[in-house]
Structure 1
Amino acid sequence: MTAVAAARERAAKGAWVVFAVGALAYVVTVANRTSLAAAGLDAQHRYGISAGTLSSFAVLQFLVYAALQVPVGVLIDRWGPRRLVVLGAATMGAGQLVLAFSTQTWQAVLARVLVGAGDAATFVSVLRVTTNWFPPQRVPVMTQLVGLFGQLGQVFSFVPLVALLHGPGWTPAYAGIGAFSLLATALSVIVLRDVPPGRENPRVTKPLREVGGDLRAALRHPGTRLGLWSHWATPFSGNAFATLWGFPFLVSGQGLSAGTASALLTLYTVTAAGTGPLFGTFVARHPLRRSWLVLAIVGAQAVVWAVVLLWSGPAPLALLALLVVVAATGVPGSLVGFDYARTSNPAHRLGGATGMTNVMGFAASVVLILLVGVLLDVQGAGTPATYSLEAFRVAFALQYPLWAVGVAGILVSRRQTRALMARDGVVVPRVRDVLRERRAGGVVHAPVPARHDAAGDR
């Protein structure tokens, strides 16, 4: 083996080691993010709060997360992603330790603020590490793999954490997840690096005016906006379900046992993890058809939710399982939005563009989580004993206006992106033309955007 080949092999192995630690950091992040989901009823009892107050915990967490996305993206460009991963894991660990020993509502609120802040710093930073260490053609699949491993964090929330809550109790359960976060902090310090050895670190220090100019330039590109709306439309249904309202909906609304509800939420996690690599492969092979995947996911969610909400009485278990599966596809589907940001922006403004993209899905999630809690309270479902299926039907119907806004944004920005491509001389063949040529024995080749300042879709 030549010295060059040996160096390449070491670099490849190093990339996978770095990826493994980054993925572990995201596992911890998702575990922290969803750690209140299956404990919602326990939290109401511990703090003596209503459904609206409980929903405000998750809303505040997501608001902090969303508000910090653009600053975190700018800091990634300035400080590098490794420092942000370390800071995020340490902050989440501190938040969970506060929650573990909290007995008053204000302490729980502080804990969720810390968790939201740490969560905000982690995912986009791990994505940047992945982008820096792997070749561009592999980035879509690697991004989905990050999401896949992150779903293990939800498994932790839905199974071991529930067992700890109903066994040793609240304090050991949340102190344990806090310790898990501090372990991820230590591993990130030891292993993570911004870029492979010998490669120039793209960190740049810019004046505030230039940072604002980069953000405006990213937002002006229709491909970036297509990513924003893709991330808005796909994940909020699953986020609201997995983060807070799925367990009460299944137990109090649909009459399932806690064990069956936990099994369905585990199915949610397995589906989100399993479909991620499939979606990543599709995006890598068909970058001009990414919006098809996004619109198909949104359409499937809307249809299945309609069937569940209109069903007379509690829905059959098979239908609820289908609902969980379809809702789960929104999580990996939302990652398509980051691929739009990546292909629409040069490296020096990628952090800000990624942060803006990430804001959208969580903004929609905040709206849904908050309004579900408010509507449950308005209908008299302020305690676990008074949750009703009818109240949940009204509350979850709020998803449809959010989907409508997202789909409209996708269609408008997609048309603008196609117009920009046409001005650059890139013509994307229509699907019927491709199919006609294939039936005739020919092949129509759709050009794939090669520059970071051009994005294609059809």
Structure 2
Amino acid sequence: MTAYFFSFFFRVSASVVLPQEASRLGLSAATAGFISSLYYYAYAVTQPLCGALHDRLGPLRVVAFGMALTGVGEVLYILSPTALSLGLWRLLTGLGLAPMFSGALLFQSRAFPQERYPFYAGVTLAVGNLGAVVSVAPLGFALERWGKTSVFSLLALVSFALAAALVILGGKTPGNAGGGKMELAKRMGEAARTIALSPPLRTVTLLWGLLISALLAFQGLWAVAWYRAAFDVTTASARNWATLVGIGVIAGTLAGGRLKGSRATILRRGYALAGILWILLLALAALTDSIILVGSTGFLVGLASGVFVVQGASAVNELTEPSRRGAVLGMANLFIYVGVIAFQWGTGSLIGLFESTPGHYAPTGFLLAFGVTTLLIAGGTLFFPRLSD
């Protein structure tokens, strides 16, 4: 769970680091969005492989290697802050942190009773999203207080230390099947077929992808810049309000893990609520100048999204044979993060249409970008009939 915490921490840290680096280096919004999305390119492409490796080698070993690679990425960012090094930093951390989500959920699926899976999934996701919270206002404060070199040097050391601890604790998780290279390819192929042939699995993956893509484009990249541009607040204040999104996700994952009843009904209601809250957030941002109202609604967007993510993970777990859970979860994550990449690039391109100078954005651009995002979320409701218990 600690490794999963860092996967969210480094994922969302772009919302603090990249806008400032873009301004310093004279990068456009589209370029900043592309650099941020490199994390998700690497993360997405390796998801099926990570899931298959978890099934074969066990999560502890795979996650240990990932944390070591993450540490290398942090060192690279410290040494040479250029557009190229920023891109390599995001790429390496995406590769390194790719195994964390499926590894944590697969480990708990094998270590605890299945009826407790939603509860433990909620706790795991809450810990992960705590990393997102810490990576906004607290990270911004630390960077201002101690500087980038000191902060990211410490983060690199922690990454290497965690990798070493996982190696010491290593060994296969009970239930791993082992196998060679051909079996890895076979596992990934079977995972893709499992999702393709299951309408409920396809629908959960699609809806999950839409909500997470919107959330990460907002929380993980543009929230701080949007709040600054629209409400004329300080960077510190914008970070504090953006942090509320992550706090909402934590609350939602904890609450979602305790919900009982029809899984399909909970998923439909959670998704619909998130969509309504996105509409409310846009309306408030367009019609008022109240950061309090918009920031509070951002908290609620995170809350509803957190509920859906826990229930979505539980649905994938229930719809998949135990021997294929790692590979199927990894394949589902691939499809989800293809959406994340598209949303990161797309929002950056739309926001850039109203960019006055590099790093300085107009509120209209954010309204357009997330208006399109909200329309896509609304379109997801057309697939509700395919959700069934």
Same fold (TM over 0.5): yes
Q: Write the letter of the residue equivalent to 2:386.
A: S
Q: Which moved more, 1:140-149 or 1:232-241?
A: 232-241
Q: Aligned match of 2:230 in 253, 269, 272? A: 253
CA distance in 2, matches of 1:179, 1:311: 46
CA distance in 1, matches of 2:251, 2:214: 18
Q: Aligned match of 2:353 in 352, 371, 378? A: 378
Q: Aligned match of 1:272 in 231, 245, 249? A: 249
Contact in 2 for aligned 1:29/1:89 (Cα 8 Å): no
CA distance in 1, matches of 2:339, 2:123: 24
Secondary structure at 2:145's aligned position in 1?
A: coil
Larger radius of gyration: 1
Using the TM superposition, give the Cα deviation of residue 238 of structure 1 relative to its aligned residue in structure 2, in angstroms.
1.8
CA distance in 1, matches of 2:273, 2:212: 10
The corresponding residue for 2:125 is 147
Is 2:94 aligned against 1:116? yes
Q: Aligned match of 1:333 in 286, 292, 308? A: 308
Q: Quick one: structure 1 residues 401 and 178, their matched pair in 2 at CA, closer, same or farther if it must change by over 3 Å? A: same
* Structure ranking higher in helix proportion: 2
RMSD: 2.2
Q: Quick one: structure 1 residues 359 and 401, their matched pair in 2 at CA, closer, same or farther if it must change by over 3 Å? A: farther
Output aligned runs, 1:383-422, within 5 Å: 383-384=358-359, 386-409=360-383, 411-414=384-387, 418=388
Structure 1 residue ranges without an equivalent (≥5): 1-22, 419-455
The corresponding residue for 1:318 is 293
CA distance in 2, matches of 1:122, 1:294: 25
| CA deviation profile, 1:395-422 (whole Å, cap 9, x unmatched) | 221213421343333x2532xxx4xxxx
The corresponding residue for 1:296 is 272
Output aligned runs, 1:61-100, within 5 Å: 61-100=39-78
Q: Quick one: structure 1 residues 259 and 214, their matched pair in 2 at CA, closer, same or farther if it must change by over 3 Å? A: closer
Give the alignment's TM-score, normalised by structure 2. Answer: 0.91
The corresponding residue for 1:220 is 197
Contact in 1 for aligned 2:122/2:256 (Cα 8 Å): yes
Using the TM superposition, give the Cα deviation of residue 54 of structure 1 relative to its aligned residue in structure 2, in angstroms.
0.8
Question: How many residue pairs get matched?
Answer: 387
CA distance in 2, matches of 1:30, 1:179: 17
Give the alignment's TM-score, normalised by structure 1. Answer: 0.78
| CA deviation profile, 1:344-398 (whole Å, cap 9, x unmatched) | 11112212211122234322222222122112222234423x4211222122212
Using the TM superposition, give the Cα deviation of residue 309 of structure 1 relative to its aligned residue in structure 2, in angstroms.
4.3
Structure 2 residue ranges without an equivalent (≥5): none
CA distance in 1, matches of 2:135, 2:229: 19
Contact in 1 for aligned 2:54/2:326 (Cα 8 Å): yes
CA distance in 2, matches of 1:293, 1:193: 41
Contact in 1 for aligned 2:102/2:329 (Cα 8 Å): yes
CA distance in 2, matches of 1:38, 1:317: 20
